[in-house]
Structure 1
């Protein structure tokens, strides 16, 4: 079926005349998984477990084995071809993702965040999806609109919500200026040669419905073809200068004029009104559960609030009471949380300081307080309870562009081989501390992303020409990988224990002698220690700890809440990277007046979780 060409063709009333999948009651209960669609699955793998858990034998791509590492770079010509493949379309699609819902469900994922999938400019390989040419159609590299609808149906059947990555700030490189050098220059608009054709030639008239434009030329829907829909002020040079970051082009992606006025007097442009209708359409058409909104800083608070209000009201109208809007908000915590409260977005994507501080904690490079203080009560963010953070930030450790790293881009596991032993700790810390945890595809398989450029963060899970670990032709859907297997155990406990999802959070003081307690800290830029924290919900305390020493087990006395526990009470190990430790007890002891502590032994590069055991009248010992 041909895609609509105009907002007038959408027929939202008809699409809304059905029952939609309900929203989750609390997004902090969910576990997200972010993937680049082109790099995740092409559906041609063999030897993995399908959605029903059965081992498949239909595809041609075999599972990865350690000996396959480097098989794509044996010679320099082969290495050059592998590197070049990372800049182009590789072949992942909606049907491939559809067949991996069982893989995600068994990992413990409950919501999949999919990279932009709308139609791209055909003359450039924007495999990542951020260069949209048609906001009303799915890019044929990924499949069809019906494939998207079926993907969401299959995801819902597997207990997984679907969040789409969307863009309002800009379109793709859909027109050309009349000169080659077009930096933002004080807000001056540049003349435009014309909209581009399918091959990129700017020969189409710059105006409504240019002849011969459909489907691969100009920009769609038709409402975006008016020249005033674009600011036309050239590319951003100063990413922090007011007006420039709002009105300038995002490199060669063309800035859309979204409206005028400050947040309280904002007047939406025809372009923004059209985009609101387009994104309502996709909610109704595919039964989506949320959006991740790209480049919120560059939209401005007025446009963001208008869009958030329009989408929330529409979603509530069709029964999605908690449709989630996650904003990519740069500029630090204060800016992020101010933006949330000003605009009505539900959560900020924690790509600013959270990933690096989490990574440095796990690798023993920084004080644990540097990470935990991000979630503490703070006058800086003007919140009285740090439980507020539990559903207002999406936390990640790896991601697809790593803005926070500057020029040095690589995944957690890059470099020192011991980091692979610690990546489970990073996933566990992310899953059991405040915020909505998000796993970036491949981290559960210990991808390393080595190379120093965005492309190397975007390896193919299905192998193809640009597989992880410098490989090709082998896939990575390995549920026996110890990182995947142990992460699944941790996420299962998170699902079962409400304190891990909604509880208050405390970094705990530790002691080696039972007398002197304090927070662990780095000495000489290195910390090799037990790092412990608690999650408390009502009267339930869960005590958790990692060991930043990759080579030796560590033991420490860890403070617990003195008002909840008495000497002689017992905590039981619910999880440990040393399986022999599971179900062993640790006894609460007095460590001073009204001070209680438990002794934890944490394996080298390990993670442990302890829960207090209580007794029921009829059933005997049980867990909260």
Structure 2
């Protein structure tokens, strides 16, 4: 081992660059982008940097609606499955999905026009911090080795700041994915990998730049560093303290406490953050260090929020401390509504948000499952709509979500509710993607579109890779293709979702309104909520959003083959018989179907209107 070299860039939260950036920010609050008034007003879009864009996609428009020739050609139907024409090619395509595809922060910046024209107002970017260099499978960003640097696969910290500034200029907020629960595989246990058993295990040493555990498990001597120190151990240097890690081996039982709190997240090493009880909590040195790290990134890059990974495995105490610390710091730089969103798996998501001070949770369990199954006709609509409440005192204690406390999406990068059977919504070849996204965008919650869903990506398979296709093609493109990009602003779903997002921004009802699942009737006499019978439920599913004295009536059709008609109940007190509602949106109709531009309110079941919805379609009346 060669000694005497030095680490490049910031290596400690005590470095003058880090301290001054954190401190000076609170003195220059007017330089920072202010928070939105309400996050439920936003339309989120989530992407993984490695899988989104290189900036080399041809026939795409920038933020100024201009295009320049580029090397990656757009996808055409004839390109479908061009990467799997032989067993050998198919294996190459599958293997490519587990390694870096080389999307970049500059690539994301080049697609801000695409994102804005879709109707997005807030961009959630997967983690971008420096990964363990020997881990070629860490394209996803969750195996951090240096929390103070951007991984060179994605670019530089300057690229991050430039992206955020450019997004702000387009009216787009930026939320960054962060990790506190664990680091990457930065050390090795003596005798090999360990499983959690409630005991602490001995450590062989920190890993060097080759991946070998050759470095003593102790703080590195800054005057006598190993060769290539930037790729050794863990940074910032404060995290090299022995007490940083729990050292209890990998989790086997993901629901057993304290195992899921103290165990390693597979090969990723668990960081000791402190006890679970928020009322007696004392932060560890590691947690204090990471709080300084994430203050720094707020100040340096002018971020608007964080999505916090694996909150379940952090515990209530550390999460509350983090939320208090970051909310207070963000407020000191003028960001009074800095957004902290927790990834909370299991059955304690609602309790975690209420206890810790998180602003919201991701709806990745039963919320996502029911949002997925409803448009497909696989559940009764009430199973989804009953997850929400219109006021803080309604359904109290039933884990029903308020409009601004839950992020909803039909697709994401993990799909924890599906186990190892991963699949995007459109993987079954159906035609209900638009209806599903419309339900997502126009019902309660903060809606989020996962990249590629707006292009009907259909990935499926036995691991996460299959729902993390490269939007720019690369060697692991969507639809089993390679070398073709998917930034198609002419696609039907993209065009229609853009229209719906604009309406959501125009009508307060669709963002903040109360929500009511509506009864329907085929004969105008017998009304009831749509029910799931044997087989697929093929029906109109209608709901109202009401804010002040305005009602917007939304309806999807879960029948993918034929239009559906029914009487639909509306609010009895806001309308009089003979008044009309106007159609402000209808999805494309086929075979000469005419959707009424106006419907008349009749005295049925209180008040009702006769609706017609295209197959797999969506309408809004106001």
Which TM-score bucket, shorter chain as reference?
over 0.9
Count of residue pairs brought into register by the alignment: 601
Asked whether the 8 Å contact 2:8–2:230 carries over to 1, the reply is: no
Aligned to 1:620: none
| Among candidates 313, 321, 325, match of residue 306 of structure 1 | 321
Aligned to 2:81: 70
Name the CA distance, whole Å, in 2 between partners of 1:2 and 1:290.
28
Name the CA distance, whole Å, in 2 between partners of 1:88 and 1:40.
14
| Among candidates 136, 151, 155, match of residue 148 of structure 2 | 136
Instruction: Indicate the SS of the match to 2:532.
Output: coil
Deviation at 1:379, TM superposition (A): 8.5
Name the CA distance, whole Å, in 1 between partners of 2:369 and 2:97.
25
Aligned to 1:164: 176
Can you list the C-alpha shifts for 1:116-168, whole angstroms capped at 9, x where unaligned? 00000000120000000000000000000000000000000111000000000
Can you list the C-alpha shifts for 1:8-66, whole angstroms capped at 9, x where unaligned? 01122234443100000000000110101000001111111111112331x10010001
**Runs of 4+ that moved beyond 2 A:** 14-18, 376-381, 383-386, 578-583
Can you list the C-alpha shifts for 1:201-223, whole angstroms capped at 9, x where unaligned? 11011101153162110000000
Asked whether the 8 Å contact 2:434–2:493 carries over to 1, the reply is: yes
Summarize the alignment of residues 217-616 of structure 1 with structure 2, pairs less than 5 Å apart: 217-260=232-275, 262-332=277-347, 335-376=348-389, 382=396, 389-415=402-428, 417=429, 419=430, 421-578=431-588, 584-592=597-605, 595-611=606-622
Deviation at 1:384, TM superposition (A): 10
Deviation at 1:407, TM superposition (A): 1.9
Can you list the C-alpha shifts for 1:468-517, whole angstroms capped at 9, x where unaligned? 00100010000001010000001010010000000000000000111000
Aligned to 1:153: 165
Deviation at 1:278, TM superposition (A): 0.2
Instruction: Indicate the SS of the match to 2:325.
Output: helix
Name the CA distance, whole Å, in 2 between partners of 1:376 and 1:179.
52
Name the CA distance, whole Å, in 2 between partners of 1:316 and 1:25.
13
Deviation at 1:3, TM superposition (A): 2.4
Deviation at 1:360, TM superposition (A): 1.2
Can you list the C-alpha shifts for 1:545-588, whole angstroms capped at 9, x where unaligned? 01111111111000000011000111000011136857711000
Asked whether the 8 Å contact 1:366–1:525 carries over to 2, the reply is: no
Name the CA distance, whole Å, in 2 between partners of 1:513 and 1:170.
58
Name the CA distance, whole Å, in 1 between partners of 2:385 and 2:417.
18
* Superposition TM-score, scaled by structure 2 size: 0.94
> What are structure 1's unaligned runs of at least 5 residues?
612-624
1:13 to 2:23 alignment: yes
Can you list the C-alpha shifts for 1:528-551, whole angstroms capped at 9, x where unaligned? 111111000011000010111111
* Superposition TM-score, scaled by structure 1 size: 0.94
Deviation at 1:294, TM superposition (A): 0.4
| Among candidates 192, 195, 208, match of residue 206 of structure 2 | 195
Name the CA distance, whole Å, in 1 between partners of 2:112 and 2:93.
28
| Among candidates 96, 104, 111, match of residue 100 of structure 1 | 111
Name the CA distance, whole Å, in 1 between partners of 2:527 and 2:236.
63
Name the CA distance, whole Å, in 1 between partners of 2:229 and 2:184.
16
Asked whether the 8 Å contact 2:129–2:151 carries over to 1, the reply is: yes
Aligned to 1:30: 42
Asked whether the 8 Å contact 2:96–2:475 carries over to 1, the reply is: yes
Asked whether the 8 Å contact 1:295–1:328 carries over to 2, the reply is: yes
Can you list the C-alpha shifts for 1:174-220, whole angstroms capped at 9, x where unaligned? 0000112411012x111101100122111011101153162110000
Deviation at 1:297, TM superposition (A): 0.6
1:243/1:379 Cα in 2 relative to 1: closer, same or farther (>3 Å)?
farther
What is the RMSD computed on CA atoms of the aligned residues?
1.7
Name the CA distance, whole Å, in 1 between partners of 2:209 and 2:436.
44
Aligned to 1:110: 121
Name the CA distance, whole Å, in 2 between partners of 1:192 and 1:279.
28
Instruction: Indicate the SS of the match to 1:531.
Output: strand
1:91 to 2:105 alignment: no
Pick which of 258-267 and 548-557 moved more.
Answer: 258-267
